[in-house]
Amino acid sequence: MERFVIFFHKTYPFFIGCLVSGILFWLNIDYRIPNFEKVLDNATIFSSIVVGFLGALLGILVSIKDAEIVATIFETEEKHTLKSYFNETFLLGIIVVLFSSLMQVLRSYENSTTLIMFHLWVLISIWFIPSTYRIVNILMSVFFKVNNSKSRPEDDDSKLTETDSKEIKSFLSKPR
């Protein structure tokens, strides 16, 4: 069961994108909807903002790398999970921008290539949203945990316990 939970946590953004793209295909909704160019513009803006925000979060993570909770994460195998979530979201954001730009050009051509590209654009755009939520949720949890530990007085009780370490590892590996 634990393997399924880990698999689900790593893949649910992709499956949500597939589901939405499939529903739009089934409902016969495509790039010819009114004001689609505005949707493309907003997708480009939103993705660009999120990619910039992720860059800022990465900078914050690097600046607090000496904090005990961050050091604990980087000592475990979960650092690879965190890195893959970051890379996935960052790449998806860039791909959404590129596909949105491409769709701006292709939407004036009514052919099967444009229809396929539209459904790929929907898949990637929707995949990007839960992927962004997942990494931002994880990073905010880490930042608030670091902030809480910094506000405590310095004594032996403020050290990260084995239970806290296990709790962090469990938190990073469960679905959001």
Specify the length of the chain in residues.
Answer: 176
147, HSE (Cβ side, Cα atoms, 13 Å): 8
Is the pLDDT confidence value at 17 over 60? yes
Band of residue 6 on the pLDDT scale cut at 50, 70, 90: confident
pLDDT at 154: 52
Cβ neighbors of 48 (< 8 A, separation 6 or more) are 93, 97
Band of residue 157 on the pLDDT scale cut at 50, 70, 90: low
The pLDDT mean for the chain works out to 85
Q: Which of 43-52, 77-86, 141-150 has the highest mean pLDDT?
A: 43-52
Is the pLDDT confidence value at 175 over 80? no
Of residues 170 and 150, more confidently modeled: 170
Of residues 85 and 81, more confidently modeled: 85
Give the mean model confidence (pLDDT) for residues 97-118: 93
Give domain limits for the chain.
2-173
pLDDT at 74: 72
Is the pLDDT confidence value at 149 over 60? no
pTM of the predicted model, to two decimals? Answer: 0.78
Q: Is 38 helix (H, G, I), strand (E, B) or coil?
A: helix
Taking the mean position of all CA atoms in its chain, how far away is CA 111? 32
DSSP state of 160: P
pLDDT at 64: 77
* C-alpha to C-alpha distance for 111 and 2, rounded to whole angstroms: 45
